[in-house]
């Protein structure tokens, strides 16, 4: 029985950690973990999750287990797959061992789009959001905005592979896109630097974390909401510092 409980807790913690790393709301994480424990053991559990760790205690067990979270990002595919697997488990389509193995495979081998496609997508995102936010069809600025947005995303993504300090990633990414935008306008490749920067910076702006922070606060998860909101604020501050520095000195 002890081995089964350990397996249940391990599976529960793995699912929760993957969801938090993907940027899920805390109430969704806790609900998914609680459903896994209830289905596997017919017992309730005490779940506590933040953006830095998840904790679970089964009512039938005196031990408490904790899993630390060292990296975070935005990956909706992770959240969707964990939700799908947890639903299959609660419906009886798969058993606990299958759920555990698939979660381990997801944690180890998450499918991802190739880098060139993600960079291209970031470029298109910046270009189209420039149109939305500036309310103007500045055709001459669109190619430069796309190039600047793609460059900023590429620099931020590559730094993310070698550094765990997210604010450095966003700062350097914003610095790179700002340089491309400013130099491009001065070389005649664009017309309005404001339009270019407004659109190009959008792929780096933490819109989802800010939204999730508000949702966590509304749900009553004050600690997670404050943590995530403060992290998003620092990210915005890093981006603003990079752009402000360029506009002042370049």
For residue 11, give both structure tokens.
């599976």
* 76-85: average pLDDT: 90
Is residue 96 domain-shared with residue 120, that is, in the same domain? no
* 72-98: average pLDDT: 88
Is residue 102 domain-shared with residue 154, that is, in the same domain? no
CA 243 to chain centre: 22
What pLDDT, on the 0 to 100 scale, is given for residue 3?
A: 46
What pLDDT, on the 0 to 100 scale, is given for residue 133?
A: 87
Is residue 64 domain-shared with residue 159, that is, in the same domain? no
Is residue 168 domain-shared with residue 188, that is, in the same domain? yes
Nearest to residue 209, comparing CAs of 82, 31, 24? 24
Reply yes or no on whether the pLDDT at 241 is more than 90.
Answer: yes
Mean pLDDT comparison of 12-16, 41-45, 205-209, highest-scoring range:
12-16
Task: List the alpha helices (DSSP H) in 67-141.
Answer: 76-91, 96-108, 115-134
**Confidence at 119, pLDDT banded by 50, 70, 90:** very high
What pLDDT, on the 0 to 100 scale, is given for residue 171?
A: 93
Give the SS3 label for residue 201: coil
Is residue 119 domain-shared with residue 104, that is, in the same domain? no
Is residue 123 domain-shared with residue 234, that is, in the same domain? yes
In total, how many domains does the chain have?
2
Q: Which domain holds residue 61?
A: 2-108
Q: Phi and psi (nearest 5°) for 114? A: -65, 155
What pLDDT, on the 0 to 100 scale, is given for residue 2?
A: 44
Is residue 163 domain-shared with residue 202, that is, in the same domain? yes
**What is the Cα–Cα distance from 187 to 175, expressed in whole angstroms?**
18
Is residue 176 domain-shared with residue 211, that is, in the same domain? yes
What pLDDT, on the 0 to 100 scale, is given for residue 113?
A: 80
Q: Which residue has 């998840």 as its token pair?
A: 54
What pLDDT, on the 0 to 100 scale, is given for residue 219?
A: 84
For residue 93, give both structure tokens.
């389509």
For residue 52, give both structure tokens.
């830095």
CB 33 within 8 A of CB 82: no
pLDDT > 70 fraction of the chain, expressed in percent and rounded: 98
- Contacts (Cβ under 8 Å, ≥6 apart) of 74: 22, 23, 206, 208, 209
Is residue 139 domain-shared with residue 207, that is, in the same domain? yes
CB 150 within 8 A of CB 122: yes
Q: 136 or 207: which carries more pLDDT confidence?
A: 207
Mean pLDDT comparison of 50-64, 69-83, 191-205, highest-scoring range:
191-205
**Confidence at 1, pLDDT banded by 50, 70, 90:** very low
For residue 220, give both structure tokens.
């009553």
- Across the beta sheet with 64-68, the strand order is 45-50, 53-58, 64-68
Q: Phi and psi (nearest 5°) for 208? A: -65, -45
Given 76, 108, 140, the domain boundary residue is: 108
Is residue 23 domain-shared with residue 119, that is, in the same domain? no
Classify the phi-psi angles of 23: left when phi > 0, otherwise alpha if psi is within -120 to 50, otherwise beta.
left
């Amino acid at each position: 029985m002890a081995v089964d409980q350990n397996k249940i807790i391990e599976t529960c913690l793995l699912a929760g950690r993957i969801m938090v790393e993907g940027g899920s709301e805390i109430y969704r994480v806790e609900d998914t973990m609680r459903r896994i424990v209830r289905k596997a053991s017919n017992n309730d559990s005490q779940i506590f999750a933040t953006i830095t760790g998840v904790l679970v205690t089964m009512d039938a067990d005196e031990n408490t287990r904790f899993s630390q979270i060292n990296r975070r990002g935005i990956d909706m595919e992770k959240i969707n797959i964990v939700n799908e697997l947890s639903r299959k488990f609660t419906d009886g389509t798969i058993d606990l061992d299958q759920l555990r193995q698939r979660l381990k495979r997801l944690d180890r081998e998450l499918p991802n789009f190739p880098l060139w496609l993600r960079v291209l997508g970031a470029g298109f995102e910046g270009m189209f959001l420039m149109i939305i936010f500036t309310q103007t069809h500045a055709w001459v600025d669109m190619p430069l905005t796309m190039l600047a947005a793609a460059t900023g995303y590429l620099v931020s993504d590559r730094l993310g592979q070698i550094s765990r300090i997210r604010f450095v990633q966003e700062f350097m990414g914003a610095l790179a896109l700002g340089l491309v935008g400013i130099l491009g306008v001065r070389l005649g490749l664009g017309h309005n630097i404001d339009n270019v920067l407004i659109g190009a910076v959008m792929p780096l702006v933490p819109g989802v974390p800010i939204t999730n922070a508000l949702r966590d606060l509304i749900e009553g998860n004050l600690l997670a909401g404050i943590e995530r909101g403060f992290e998003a604020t620092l990210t915005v501050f890093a981006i603003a510092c990079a752009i402000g520095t360029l506009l002042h000195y370049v």
